[in-house]
Amino acid sequence: MKTGPKTRKMWERARQTMPLGVNSNFRYWGDDMTFVIKRGEGAYVWDMDANRYIDYRLAWGPVILGHAYPSVVERVSDVLKDGNVFAMSNEIEIRVAEKICAMTGMDMVRLTNTGTEATMHAIRFARAYTGRDKILKFEGHYHGFQDYTLFNCQPPIPGIGYRRSPVIVPHGSGTPRIISQLVECVPFNDFELLEKVVKDNWQHLACIILEPIMGNSPGLFPKPGYLELIRKLCDEHGIVMIMDEVKTGFRVANGGAQELFGVKGDLATYAKALGNGFPIAAIAGCRKIMGEIDYQKIPHGGTYSGNLVSVAAAEAVLDELEAGILKKVHAHGKKLMAGIREIISRKGIPALVQGSPGMFGIVFTELPKVFEYREWSSSNHGLYSEVLLRMMEKGVMPDMDSREPWFISASHSDADAGVALQAFEDALTEVMDKPKR
Ligand SMILES: Cc1ncc(COP(=O)(O)O)c(C=O)c1O
């Protein structure tokens, strides 16, 4: 697949001033295929050549309601004339904090702008609260582009070693090597290894940080009892449990994965769906920790935290969630998951459709279930990308990177699901019927 001439020309222009012609490495899909988008509306995006795509990437998750969703546009437009940042609180920000606490069951919240900042702050809060420096994270779990967790996260992870004693591998150059000494890492969903590493290290562990559903290996669930085990170990050893709900929050349930599984972290980080695409994130948590944030005690701040435009967007989203909009999102996701399962079973292709209806993934594998990064890594990513590339040619755009889930919005219609399923079946048939070399 190649992008159209206008898109290509615009990207050529972008690469003169922006490395790879993009503002995030993940947006570069090769010289022939890097998109420049003109606009989005509802479930669709249009590129510079006016090609329309049904968007199941949704900017990697934030756009829970749909692009340019009327109630969000209206609220944001309403506040634009009032200024945006004042280095003082505003009323909408306070209402949003109240609504986040009510919806998530957390006691207190601080707002920030991105998921990366939220996890960075949460880890600092945990370190300050416990007086310990180390963190424990899980293989394949991604917590943004801050240095403390940028290890063993984005596949492929060459040199990661044996699963019982993973080597701590940075995502690339630029992360001080010394930080790796502050990181313990284990495969997700391994009860025995987790207990062993906590037993050997608890005196130094400030936090265990996790994605309760792996949203950066597509929608892998925790095994029954696993989140409960993390909770128990944290309670026993005075470790702060940080639920990174940047992808799952306000998407898999109003109260996120913590509501879905009935296990609560001491701290939780939110971003993406909270703003429907506007930059807002939150660190929420129990009063015992959050109540200690103070001058000279636990630092936190940010020029743009709680800016009017972002909190207005968030308030519109939270109101839609309160009114039950996720039912619509999940109904669409269920339809797609069932349809894809039916297609792969009819064609006799070994594959799994895993995750929550709000964010699910397809894993081409012979395994009966996939629970962690190493199992998922052994699946057929080449087949996935080939199928997804052909879907894109047919105007349907989930991410062709197999680690990204399909994200669903409230604007996707039954007709979109029909088009998407037909495109998936046709793409799969084309790839399977292709003469093998
Ligand atoms: C689980 C998780 N945490 C943190 C982040 C970082 O968020 P942001 O890109 O807003 O900095 C991401 C981004 O995809 C994520 O998936």
DSSP states of 284-304? EE-HHHHTT-BTTTB----TT
Please answer whether residues 429 and 346 qualify as being in contact, where contact means their C-beta atoms are separated by less than 8 angstroms.
Answer: no
In angstroms, the first-to-last Cα distance of the chain is: 20
pLDDT value at 429 more than 80: yes
Ligand 1, atom 5, lies closest to the CA of: 144
Q: Which atom of ligand 1 is nearest to the CA of 24?
A: 9
Residues of the chain with CATH 3.40.640.10: 70-322
Task: Name the residue of 246, 267, 276, 310 to mutate for ligand 1: max ligand atoms within 8 A of Cβ.
Answer: 246
Kindly report whether the global pTM for this prediction surpasses the value 0.85.
Answer: yes
For residue 197, what pLDDT is reported?
97
Residue 154: pLDDT over 80: no
In order of 150, 157, 159, 196, 211, the CA distances from 169 in angstroms are: 9, 7, 7, 21, 19
Class of CATH domain 5-68+325-433: alpha beta
Which residue, 146, 198, 202, is CA-closest to 174? Answer: 146
User: Has 142 been annotated as catalytic?
Assistant: yes
Cα–Cα distance for residue pair 154/395, rounded to 1 Å = 27
pLDDT for res 435: 78
Measured CA to CA in angstroms, residue 240 lies from 205, 323, 352, 364, 397 at distances of: 8, 33, 33, 36, 38
**Which amino acids bring their CB within 6 angstroms of ligand 1?**
60, 114-116, 119, 142-144, 211, 215-216, 244, 246-247, 271
Mean pLDDT in residue range 272-299: 97
Rounded CA gap, 143 and 104, in Å? 20
Q: What's the pLDDT score for residue 159?
A: 87
Q: Active-site residue 107, yes or no?
A: no
Looking at residue 437, its pLDDT comes to 63
The first and second tokens of residue 199, run together, are: 């037993």
pLDDT higher than 80, residue 28 = yes
Give 60 Cα–ligand 1 centroid separation in angstroms. 9
CATH architecture assignment, domain 70-322: 3-Layer(aba) Sandwich (3.40)
272 catalytic, yes or no? yes
Residue 276 near residue 316, CB atoms below 8 Å: yes
Which of 272, 274, 399 has most ligand 1 atoms within 8 Å of CB, for mutation? 272
Distance of alpha carbon 165 from alpha carbon 335, whole angstroms:
41
Output the CA–CA distances (angstroms, integers) from residue 204 to 199, 384, 436, in the order listed: 11, 41, 53
Contact, 10 vs 48, CB < 8 A? yes
Q: How far is the CA of 408 from the centre of ligand 1 (A)?
A: 17
- 187-221 per-position pLDDT tens digit: 999 999 999 999 999 999 999 999 999 999 889 99
Ligand 1 mean position, distance from CA 425 (Å) = 31
**Concatenated DSSP letters of 86-117:** -SS--HHHHHHHHHHHHHH--SEEEEESSHHH
